[in-house]
């Protein structure tokens, strides 16, 4: 096609160049930010003191997050230079143009159509969306490393602050403090807030009320398996003594009083934190929202999710009593103890099929021990890698067979 009649456009280069980073949006993210009620986007990175940074020798990274979705950002180098250009408006951005010499004299004018390169990008940023399962698993793993472990025998001395407050004000203040501390923790997790909230609930994370660390901070904790098991035993005991049916709606305040028992027992109050109790009840409660997160509001009414409770109690007991292969216990012993930790109507549900997948191993035909989630994820990744390698081998053999047949 002839272009002799096409109008020319003058191309110039500005100095200094401006700093730009180009991001290639995925179709679903483009649709999301183009919607009438577009959510706020966040760039989130791990805390600088995250143990995984030094343990895995990993470099700092940042993810792009919506409230419900996580996108991994990857820098891609380009062999072709990408220029960001700015067109002139025909008035303010015109530049002098020296015309060719005519009739023995110089003639000058203005180039009315000009574009200027204001930035040069040698790479682009690509977004890879993580599934909710991937984002949740990663957030949970990072929370496990970040949160301190509240173990058996640990106690905190009360602050002088807020001691004289009545129960309702104290609970409201504790809820507010938990919300602030949790937000600070989640802000340092490079994943969608929704998945971080789910991971927080899954780990029964809590902030002890009316207590401070020696440095004056109000830290967040995750209870050990032994602590969780101890709280559940008190819940079960309180339900039996006060005729509370956990499958039906109950007042959480009534269950808390049943767990405390003797209100004058100060030692017991030091080892049973209300915020820890609330965290365990929230973990086992039946979900009423689609996303499985109930927020930070005070728990008033609740009822336990039967399937969640049975699975959680079995897994927690196994982790507390047989955390490693060397401390494996008898399978029959485990099943009988599991039954004894369930309400009477749930006892027949204590079976290995109700435990989470890959959460246990049998070192011998009659023994069983717990498998940590980190080992489960590692085994899963190895299996996926092996499956991928097998597929490559299979494909190569297919091509080998094809070429073999052609040689004949």
What pLDDT is attached to residue 283? 95
**Residue 54: its pLDDT value, please?**
46
pLDDT at 245 over 60: yes
SS3 151: coil
pLDDT at 164: 40
Place of tokens 């767990």: 259
Strand residue runs (E) in 194-290:
221-223, 250-251
pLDDT for residue 224 is more than 90: yes
How many residues appear in the chain? 408
Q: What pLDDT was estimated at residue 57? A: 47
pLDDT averaged over every residue in the chain: 80
Could you read off the pLDDT of 164-212 as tens digits, one per residue? 444 456 667 767 778 889 999 999 999 999 999 999 999 999 988 765 5
193-202 and 274-284 helices, crossing angle to 10°: 110
Q: What digits encode the pLDDT tens for the residues 33-43?
A: 899 989 999 99
- How far apart CA 345 and CA 93 sit, in angstroms, is 81
Other Cβ atoms closer than 10 A to 337: 16
What are the Cα distances from residue 196, in Å, to 74, 148, 151, 183? 22, 16, 23, 10
Q: At 55, is the pLDDT very low, low, confident or very high (cuts 50, 70, 90)? A: very low
Q: What share of the chain is helix, strand, coil (3-state, %, to 5)?
A: 40, 20, 40
| Domain spans in the chain, listed from the N-terminal domain onward | 10-130, 133-304
pLDDT, tens digit, for every residue of 284-338? Answer: 998 776 655 666 667 788 889 999 999 999 999 999 999 999 999 999 999 999 9
| The pLDDT value given to residue 342 | 95
State the Cα–Cα distance between residues 133 and 101, nearest whole angstrom.
71
Give me the half-sphere count of Cα atoms (radius 13 Å) on the Cβ side of residue 217: 9
Q: Is 196 helix (H, G, I), strand (E, B) or coil?
A: helix
Q: How far apart are the first and last CA of the chain?
A: 49
Q: Are 232 and 280 in contact (CB under 8 A)?
A: yes
pTM: 0.79
Which residue in this structure is represented by tokens 């819940």?
A: 235
Q: Where are the alpha helices (DSSP H) in 244-372?
A: 252-260, 266-271, 274-284, 306-321, 331-340
């Amino acid at each position: 096609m002839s272009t002799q009649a096409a109008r020319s456009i003058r191309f110039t280069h500005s100095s200094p160049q401006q700093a730009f980073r180009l991001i290639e949006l995925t179709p679903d993210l483009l649709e999301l930010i183009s919607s009438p009620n577009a959510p706020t986007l966040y760039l989130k990175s791990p805390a600088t003191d995250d143990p995984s940074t030094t343990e895995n020798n990993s470099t700092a990274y940042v993810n792009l997050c919506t409230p419900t979705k996580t996108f991994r950002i990857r820098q891609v180098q380009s062999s072709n230079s990408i220029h960001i250009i700015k067109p002139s408006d025909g008035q303010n951005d015109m530049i002098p143009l020296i015309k060719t010499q005519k009739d023995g004299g110089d003639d000058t004018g203005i180039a009315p159509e000009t574009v200027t390169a204001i930035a040069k990008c040698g790479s682009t940023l690509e977004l890879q969306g993580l599934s909710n399962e991937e984002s949740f698993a990663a957030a949970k793993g990072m929370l496990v490393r970040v949160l301190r472990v509240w173990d058996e025998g640990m106690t905190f001395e009360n602050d002088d602050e807020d001691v004289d407050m009545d129960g309702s004000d104290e609970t409201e203040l504790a809820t507010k403090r938990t919300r602030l501390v949790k937000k600070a923790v989640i802000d340092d997790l490079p994943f969608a807030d929704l998945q971080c909230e789910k991971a927080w609930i899954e780990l029964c994370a809590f902030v002890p009320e009316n207590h401070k660390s020696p440095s004056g901070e109000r830290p967040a904790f995750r209870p050990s398996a032994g602590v969780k098991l101890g709280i559940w035993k008190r819940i079960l005991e309180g339900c039996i003594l006060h005729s509370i049916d956990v499958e039906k709606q109950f007042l959480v305040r009534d269950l808390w009083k049943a767990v405390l028992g003797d209100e004058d027992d100060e030692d017991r109050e030091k080892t049973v934190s209300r915020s820890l109790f609330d965290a365990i009840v929230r973990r086992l409660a039946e979900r009423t929202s689609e996303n499985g997160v109930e927020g930070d509001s005070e728990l008033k009414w609740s009822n336990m999710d039967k399937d969640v409770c049975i699975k959680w109690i079995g897994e927690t007991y196994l982790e507390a009593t047989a955390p490693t292969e060397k401390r494996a216990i008898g399978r029959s012993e485990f099943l009988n103890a599991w039954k004894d930790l369930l309400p009477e109507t749930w006892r027949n549900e204590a079976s290995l099929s109700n435990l989470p997948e890959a959460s246990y191993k049998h070192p011998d035909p009659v023994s069983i021990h717990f498998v940590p989630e980190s080992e489960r994820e590692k085994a899963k990744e190895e299996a996926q890698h092996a499956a991928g390698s097998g597929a490559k081998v299979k494909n190569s053999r297919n091509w080998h067979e094809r070429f073999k047949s052609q040689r004949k």
